[in-house]
Chain A
Amino acid sequence: MKPILEVKDLNVSFEVYGGEVQAVRGVNFSVGEGEAVAIVGESGSGKSVTAQTIMRLIPTPPGNIKSGSVLFDGQDLLSLSEREMQKVRGNKIGMIFQDPMTSLNPTMTVGAQIIEGLMKHEKLSRSAARTRAIELLSMVGIPNPESRIKQYPHHFSGGMRQRVMIAIALACNPSLLIADEPTTALDVTIQAQILRLMKDLQQKTKTSIILITHDLGIVADVCDRVIVMYAGQIVETGTKWEIFRNPQHPYTKGLLRSLPRLDQRKGEPLVPIFGTPPDLIQPPKGCGFCSRCDEAMRICETDVPAPTSLSDTQTVRCWLQHPLAKSPNMAEGKGASV
């Protein structure tokens, strides 16, 4: 699969009172053509900052892209001027945000907001753009698009607005769609509608998707490949089967164990991850998860583990993969308990 997006050695920080928050610390990944990749992590893991950096939406200052490159179709987005970037945004890369209540302009009709992008990027005439906007709205499942196009965002419910956002994001046939927690603000039944819509559209248009989420359930539903982030770093990547069936990083394992499942009985306790994530003003010297890991070793406190490939698709950054960590007395202990 030819990669459409390659993120290399990305480091992003934010200037705050009291220091510099190192939000993204050396992130590498790629997204193939037509592939749906999920970036999973908790708040503060750096997943949203990564997505916003790809779109160059990080305000600088206080943000600071310290190093790295984002190759999209062979072009480094981080070296483009703001003017050139505007041609990429909404045209070649579409984005959907978390809160459909604030991501639409309340003073413009829904139609005008879709038509604007089409006229700018696709150089369509107003009437052609209008016809296309109606097509798009009906494609994302909005009933009576001819009349809805003249309405303002406050006439739309949350789910309907998110559909409009998807229509806007897909208006110019982008080759990549970045969805940042697209269903977090929505109810379960509406979430199911939006996820189904995204899946259908992806199959139809073959757009690559980066889905940012904290919900492992959504990942299992929508994506092919999963990237797990913690404390600004990627700790594990793999296909969704590898991640759910054979997780190797203690954080991934812990995350899966701490979720109740519908087939779980009340007697079986949940296994929480103790403690809280580290402060990224002073990121830990070694592994970011060390302070909460119940399999931590002395080396984890001092050295950052390098990625270990377990298969063509699965990579994990953990010292437990080191041959010396796999001495017999260890392997029989905690490592085998999952």
Chain B
Amino acid sequence: MQQEIQANVSGVGPERFEPLKRNSAGSEKVVRKSRTAWQDIRHRLTTNKLAMFGLILMVVIALFAIFAPLFSHYNYFANDLDNVSAAPSFTHWFGTDDLGRDMYVRTWKGAQVSLFVGLVAALIDLVIGIVYGGIMGYFGGKVDEIMNRFAEILYAIPYLLVVILLLVIMPPSLTTIIVAMSITGWINMAWIVRGEIMRLKNQEYALASKALGAGSMRIIFRHLIPNAMGPILVTLTLTVPSAMFTEAFLSFLGLGVQSPVASWGTMINDGVKAMTVYPWRVLFPALFLSLTMFAFNVFGDGLRDAFDPKLKQ
């Protein structure tokens, strides 16, 4: 009965039972071009609507920060004492401040400062964190213990104390703020990197490289750090808004950039004094600061979910 079924296959003739001719030796084919981990992550990220919204918001804010001041016929420091604290109108979209300066231009100028501080602080954290954390994690043992103790001590010092002490020796400025943030900011990154390196250093590809005679630095920076990039990027993305907020907070206390240069923090500080009468002077910088932090945070969360999917098949 089984044989009959086979004979019914259409067009079965003796010629179809000839052996296939092929060279079997060395016919290794690549099975499939499957997705790399990075493609996987990109796929999960781009399908996450909230994260994409955050990314678009980040880009739009960055573009405005760069170009808006260039294409406005006002500049951020020119006083116009006839037009003090004017309400938003067609001439001054966001109104003016107590010296008659255009709030629209100042808001975007403030964005430049805030974004600059956020990015620079995050990059400094990144560099110090990777080197320090990488060494801690890779060498372990005594090296790890000493370096980790040092980081813990630094972490335990109240942050405001560090800033105030620093202001004794440095004038209030952007540099001072960045230095102040960098003194302790990298520790978190270093711990993240340390954990990742400890997890990865016994992977067989790292051992294979060691067996080939690779030095520690090559193993850390060529093999381990690239494979720890996921958590590092997530931490980096989430560091930016927290640095921006710290800058705004310190500027609010009067420790930041000095007039006429504005940051969102100093503008909020100025605006708060007359908040009940001229609400737009605090509204716009506060609104954009919040939007930016929101954008970075949702993007960072999306990135974290993309790197650590719970529903990965």
- Per the CB under 8 Å rule, do A and B touch in the complex? yes
B18 contacts the other chain (CB 8 A): yes
Of residues 15 through 38 on chain B, the ones whose CB sits less than 8 Å from some CB of chain A are 15-20, 24-25, 27-29, 31-32, 34-35
Q: Considering only CB atoms and an 8 Å cut-off, how many residues of chain A contact the other chain?
A: 37
B161 contacts the other chain (CB 8 A): no
CA distance A296 to B7 in the complex (A): 18
CA distance A157 to B248 in the complex (A): 57
B80 contacts the other chain (CB 8 A): no
Question: Are B27's CB and A322's CB within 8 A?
Answer: no
Residues of chain B touching chain A, judged by Cβ–Cβ distance below 8 Å, are 2-3, 5-7, 9, 12-20, 24-25, 27-29, 31-32, 34-35, 40, 43, 313
Nearest A residue to B20, CB-CB: A296
Supply 15 further A-B pairs (C-beta < 8 A) apart from A274-B25, A323-B3.
A17-B40, A275-B24, A275-B27, A276-B29, A279-B32, A290-B20, A295-B19, A297-B18, A297-B20, A298-B17, A299-B17, A301-B20, A306-B2, A322-B17, A334-B19
Question: Are A319's CB and B43's CB within 8 A?
Answer: no
Distance in angstroms from A269 CB to nearest chain B CB is 15
CA distance A240 to B85 in the complex (A): 94
9 residue pairs of the A-B complex, CB under 8 angstroms, read: A276-B29, A281-B32, A295-B19, A297-B20, A299-B17, A302-B16, A305-B6, A324-B16, A333-B19
Chain B residues with Cβ below 8 Å from A294 are 24
Binary contact track A300-336/B, C-beta < 8 Å → 1, others 0:
1111011111000000000101111101001001100
Question: Are B35's CB and A297's CB within 8 A?
Answer: no
Chain A residues with Cβ below 8 Å from B20 are 290, 296-298, 300-301
| A308 contact from B6, B14, B27, Cβ within 8 A | B6
A16 contacts the other chain (CB 8 A): yes
Is chain B's interface secondary structure helix, strand, loop, or mixed overall? loop
Given A275-B27, A299-B12, check contact A308 B18 (CB 8 Å).
no
Question: Are A275's CB and B29's CB within 8 A?
Answer: yes
Question: Are B28's CB and A319's CB within 8 A?
Answer: no
CA distance A327 to B18 in the complex (A): 10
CA distance A113 to B3 in the complex (A): 52
The 9 closest A-B pairs by CB, nearest first: A299-B16, A296-B20, A306-B5, A325-B17, A324-B17, A308-B2, A279-B32, A62-B313, A298-B16
Question: Are B24's CB and A309's CB within 8 A?
Answer: no
Chain B residues with Cβ below 8 Å from A307 are 2
Residues of chain A touching chain B, judged by Cβ–Cβ distance below 8 Å, are 14-18, 62, 274-276, 279, 281, 290, 294-303, 305-309, 319, 321-325, 327, 330, 333-334
Chain B residues with Cβ below 8 Å from A279 are 31-32
Question: Are B12's CB and A324's CB within 8 A?
Answer: yes
CA distance A319 to B20 in the complex (A): 13
Question: Are B6's CB and A276's CB within 8 A?
Answer: no
CA distance A170 to B29 in the complex (A): 45
Chain B residues with Cβ below 8 Å from A297 are 16-20
Question: Are B16's CB and A308's CB within 8 A?
Answer: no
Given A62-B313, A306-B5, A324-B14, check contact A274 B24 (CB 8 Å).
yes
Question: Are B31's CB and A276's CB within 8 A?
Answer: yes
CA distance A302 to B35 in the complex (A): 29
Chain B residues with Cβ below 8 Å from A321 are 6
Chain B residues with Cβ below 8 Å from A325 are 17
CA distance A323 to B6 in the complex (A): 10
CA distance A68 to B289 in the complex (A): 58
Nearest B residue to A295, CB-CB: B19
Given A323-B3, A330-B17, check contact A16 B27 (CB 8 Å).
no
CA distance A309 to B2 in the complex (A): 7
CA distance A294 to B23 in the complex (A): 10
CA distance A62 to B313 in the complex (A): 7
Distance in angstroms from A231 CB to nearest chain B CB is 13
CA distance A173 to B150 in the complex (A): 61
Chain A residues with Cβ below 8 Å from B2 are 306-309
Distance in angstroms from B127 CB to nearest chain A CB is 35
Nearest A residue to B8, CB-CB: A306
Distance in angstroms from B3 CB to nearest chain A CB is 7
CA distance A290 to B15 in the complex (A): 17
Nearest A residue to B4, CB-CB: A306
Chain A residues with Cβ below 8 Å from B18 are 297-298
Given A14-B313, A306-B6, A308-B2, check contact A327 B17 (CB 8 Å).
yes
CA distance A275 to B29 in the complex (A): 8
Distance in angstroms from B15 CB to nearest chain A CB is 7
Question: Are A275's CB and B17's CB within 8 A?
Answer: no
Question: Are B34's CB and A303's CB within 8 A?
Answer: no
Distance in angstroms from A283 CB to nearest chain B CB is 12
Question: Are B17's CB and A319's CB within 8 A?
Answer: yes
Distance in angstroms from B268 CB to nearest chain A CB is 45
Distance in angstroms from B16 CB to nearest chain A CB is 4
Nearest A residue to B18, CB-CB: A298
